[in-house]
Amino acid sequence: MQRIPRLRWFLGLIAYPGFWLTCAQAHFVYEPAATTEWHSADIHGHKMFYAVRGTGPTLVFLHGGGDSGEHSFVRQLDVFSEHHHIVAPDQVGQGRTPDAPGPLTYTGMMEDTAQLLKQLKLHHVDVVGFSDGGILALMLAVRHPELVRRLVISGVNISPEGLRPEDLEDLRATDNPNPKTIDEKLAHLWLTSPTASELNVDLLATITQPVLVISGDRDAITLEHTLTIFHALPDADLCVLPGTDHSTFSGRSEWLNPIMSAFLARP
């Protein structure tokens, strides 16, 4: 794919109204707004742990691969729990949720998440997904649209080819085709998934919910791939953060939190 001139890397910032003003004026003080409660549910034959805090409209946080909701969104939970009911599940083998036999798949984690939301009687909720969690968020919108109101995703790919070439080479060099540990399962997952049957541009075109697509200009996902996702979505906003790597939520929370708040509050 043709490389995009550097100047166009910042078009996403301009496309989101009020970005510069909001980023310049936002001052967040990260003080605990609510106590986190931990619960577990029996999901597809295994325990799934999830954090709950705050009151208000439900906001589901889906963490990055090998991480947890608590850690991926450490700079968001206090802020958004002031006005939202936060649900942050830990996917199988990650965070507080123990591993389960068999391979790790995006479809499996997505269906676990959907089942959890159904058990909690949550429908038409806002979903924030980082990296692997963003993949799950898109898949939820495709396969369980009744569960999702709108999406915020960052650092997301719809195929392994969206990763930087050097990262793909590293994964190929260390891949175990029969992974046993969660680290091996994650590495194999990133090298082989999402599959075309899980996500593709035609499936993205079926997502009618508003989506805020976020990327760092130095992200682990190539900008060309992010733009492919953005253009395939019928109702999407694009936000490309300058001087930012894959860790958008933790590294640029002073920019992203007000942008996310405005997007989620939009009529």
Rounded CA gap, 124 and 145, in Å? 8
- Asked if residue 65 belongs to a domain, the reply is yes
| Total domain count, the chain | 1
Per-residue pLDDT of the chain (267 residues; tens, 9 = 90+): 333 333 233 333 333 333 333 333 334 444 444 689 999 999 999 999 999 999 999 999 999 999 999 999 999 999 999 999 999 999 999 999 999 999 999 999 999 999 999 999 999 999 999 999 999 999 999 999 999 999 999 999 999 999 999 999 999 999 999 999 999 999 999 999 999 999 999 999 999 999 999 999 999 999 999 999 999 999 999 999 999 999 999 999 999 999 999 999 999
Q: In degrees rounded to 5, what are phi and psi of residue 59?
A: -130, 115
Domain boundaries, position 33: 12-265
- Helices (H) and strands (E) in the chain — how many of each? 12, 8
DSSP 206-262: T--S-EEEEEETT-SB-HHHHHHHHHHSSSEEEEEETT--S-HHHHSHHHHHHHHHH
Instruction: Answer yes or no: is 7 within a domain.
Output: no
Q: Buried b vs exposed e over 160-178: b needs ≥16 C-beta within 10 Å? A: bebbeeeeeeebeeeeeee
The pLDDT score that the predictor gives to residue 14 is: 34
CA-CA distance, 85 to 264, in Å (whole number)? 13
The per-residue pLDDT for 35 is 86
- Fill in the DSSP letter of residue 44: T
End-to-end, the C-alpha distance of the chain in Å comes to 36
Residue 97 counted as domain residue: yes
Sign of CA dihedral 223, 177, 110, 39: negative
| CATH code (residue 240) | 3.40.50.1820
Separation of alpha carbons 117 and 125, rounded Å: 9
Q: Is residue 252 part of a domain?
A: yes
Helices 106-119 and 132-143 pack at an angle, to 10 degrees, of 60
Specify which residues 240 forms β-bridges with. Answer: 215
Q: Is the Cα torsion angle 104, 147, 161, 226 positive or negative in sign? A: negative
Query: Would you say residue 2 lies in a domain?
Result: no
CA 116 from centroid of its chain's CA atoms: 17
Residue 160 lies in a domain: yes
Q: How many CB atoms lie within 10 A of CB 66?
A: 19
Residue 50 to residue 57: CA distance in whole angstroms: 17
Q: How long a stretch of residues is the chain?
A: 267
Say whether pTM exceeds 0.85: yes
Is residue 4 in some structural domain?
no
Is residue 126 in a domain? yes
pLDDT of residue 34: 64
Q: What is the DSSP string of 102-121?
A: S---HHHHHHHHHHHHHHTT
Instruction: Using DSSP bridges, classify how beta strands 125-130 and 58-62 pair: parallel, antiparallel or unpaired.
Output: parallel
Q: Which tokens sit at 225?
A: 């791939």
